[in-house]
Amino acid sequence: MSVAEIKNKERVINELMLFIRKVLVEPEICEKAKEIARTHLNDDNADAVIAEALSAVSNVKIPLEHSDADKLFLQVLKDVVKDEQALY
């Protein structure tokens, strides 16, 4: 594994840790995020729409150019909502 790959993984971990801290400080982010994902899951360019909507209503700010951590978070969020929908 190259130094660049290690640094990138560290950066992703640090970004995700910052996000987890925000959620622990403002736990309603989870429900907001899931509601937004439910609403926009099947939209064209769903990641961008979900990111923009979540950034507008919470202290989670996802830039237009998504980092690896942003992409990972959005994928997990969509997976949670899909799993939730599969239960019904």
- What pLDDT shows up at residue 10? 93
Q: Where are the domains of the chain?
A: 3-86
Tokens 């987890």, located at residue: 20
How many helices (H) and strands (E) are present in the chain, helices listed first?
Answer: 4, 0
Residue 14 has pLDDT above 90, yes or no: yes
Percent of the chain with pLDDT over 90: 66
Q: Tens of pLDDT along 65-74?
A: 999 899 999 9
Measured CA to CA, the distance from residue 12 to residue 31 in angstroms comes to 23
Confidence of residue 88 (pLDDT cuts 50, 70, 90): low
Question: Confidence band (pLDDT; 50, 70, 90) for 31?
Answer: very high
Percent over 70 (pLDDT), the chain: 98
